[in-house]
Amino acid sequence: MQDRLADRRIAVVGAAGGIGSAICTRLLDEGATVYGLDRQGLDTMQQGVTAIEMDLTDEGSVAGVVERLYRNDASPVSLVNSAGIVENDVAAEVMPMDLFDRVMAVNLRGVYLTCRDFGAALLEHGGGAIVNIASMSGNAVVNVPQRQSVYNSSKAAVSALTRSLAVEWGARGVRVNAVSPGYVDTPLNALKTSMHGEWLDRTPLGRFGRVQEVAAAVAYLLSDDAAFCQGTELLVDGGYSLV
């Protein structure tokens, strides 16, 4: 693997998850120094990742991690936001607001907080790149047969946030882009076996995506190969959104 990301420092939020773990592996393979940020699963992170506990919904926790990463090293720390939760078992008309708030806290508030604080540090320390994991569910499709209006809304907000920050920060040296996966072979999706047939029938490639394919898209957007990508939302969905 070429060292496109040699000498880069990159923080991955949600690093203990299926997609987050694959992103860490890919970034290590491309020569980056990788910090894996998560609330749990720190002991499961692969060798070579510096595991750091962080609650992305808590301002103090996020600020503390940013301060720690720059304490003895002023080189920029780019960011990947890969944490997320989904709720697709509750109909919209009976959705409890505490469940709505929980999804939004992770999928939107957390992404905003980490973008804000890591972005501010990048602006101060010479620029860098941010990649948010959005979803095809945010703009391209309304998923069926599951009911996930809250999740879809949260991911649409991530897409809008990505575009807004790209415009606001681009001239100041910070690139902000997104990767929007379709149905990917993760433990979370593996639980929804009753839906797999319909999902696959609607995917032209006829299979689930692999976490490594999402990770490759992230690595591209972080690298200088994507130097003219700003506000880009890269769909990795096997063609699902075309049908």
Q: What is the pLDDT of residue 192?
A: 67
Name the phi and psi angles at 38, rounded to 5: -165, 165
Q: What is the pLDDT of residue 120?
A: 98
Q: What is the pLDDT of residue 229?
A: 98
**Measured CA distances, 228 to 177, 180, 224 (Å):** 11, 19, 8
Sign of CA dihedral 85, 91, 93, 98: negative
User: What does pTM read for this prediction?
Assistant: 0.96
In one letter, which amino acid is 203? T
Cα within 13 Å of Cα(114), Cβ side: 34
Kindly state the DSSP code that residue 223 receives in the 8-state scheme: S
In one letter, which amino acid is 242? L
Q: How far apart are CA 9 and CA 30, in angstroms?
A: 12
Cα 85 to its chain centre, rounded Å, is: 11
- Residue 216 neighbours by CB distance under 10 Å: 16
Mean of pLDDT over the chain: 95
The residues annotated as belonging to the active site are: 151
Q: How far apart are CA 118 and CA 5, in angstroms?
A: 18
pLDDT of 74-133, one tens digit each? 999 999 999 999 988 899 999 999 999 999 999 999 999 999 999 999 999 999 999 999
Q: How far apart are CA 75 and CA 69, in angstroms?
A: 9
In one letter, which amino acid is 39? R
Task: Report, as ranges of residue numbers, the positions in the chain whose pLDDT lies below 50.
Answer: none
In one letter, which amino acid is 71? R
Residue 131 and residue 80 in contact, taking contact as beta carbons nearer than 8 Å: yes
To the nearest 10°, report the CA torsion of 52, 56, 58, 60: 40
Residue 46 and residue 28 in contact, taking contact as beta carbons nearer than 8 Å: yes
Q: What is the pLDDT of residue 82?
A: 97
Q: What is the pLDDT of residue 193?
A: 72
Just give the CATH number of 9-235. 3.40.50.720
